[in-house]
Amino acid sequence: MTAIVWVTMIMLGASILIGLARIATATDGGTRAIVGDLVFFSGIGIIMGLSILDESSVAIDAAVLASIVGVLATVALARIITRGRR
């Protein structure tokens, strides 16, 4: 069972690295904001995978808070790329 969780966490980590490579080679700011949102949500998946490997159910609380606060990160990125305008 831990092999399945390891494979999933490696896939999520690979998607984070691919997303960071896309952010480094992007030409416009909109691409960076969108891929940054994807990296944030993949991090939530890694936290959920860690809750099985360490046998602690309190990591699910961290994932709840992170997924609710994710809207703040997205709206902040949108406000940054328009230089403060709505």
Partner 1 sequence: MEEIIMTSIVGLLMIGGGLFVINSAIAMFRVHDAYERLSAMTPATGLGLPLIVIGVGVEHTWEYRFEWEVWGRVAIIVTAMILVSSVGSNVLGRAVYMSGAPLDPKTMFNDLAEEPAWLADPSSGNNASSEQATPPGIDSAGGSSDANEPEPKTSRDEE
If one asks whether residue 85 binds partner 1 (CB under 8 A), the answer comes out as yes
If one asks whether residue 1 binds partner 1 (CB under 8 A), the answer comes out as yes
> With contacts defined by CB under 8 A, how many residues of the chain interact with partner 1?
48
If one asks whether residue 81 binds partner 1 (CB under 8 A), the answer comes out as yes
If one asks whether residue 84 binds partner 1 (CB under 8 A), the answer comes out as no
Q: How far is the CB of 48 from partner 1 (least distance, A)?
A: 5
If one asks whether residue 53 binds partner 1 (CB under 8 A), the answer comes out as no
Give the DSSP letter string of the chain. -HHHHHHHHHHHHHHHHHHHHHHHT-SSHHHHHHHHHHHHHHHHHHHHHHHHHTT-TTHHHHHHHHHHHHHHHHHHHHHHHTTT--
If one asks whether residue 11 binds partner 1 (CB under 8 A), the answer comes out as yes
18 Cβ partners below 8 Å, 6+ apart? none
Q: How far is the CB of 51 from partner 1 (least distance, A)?
A: 7
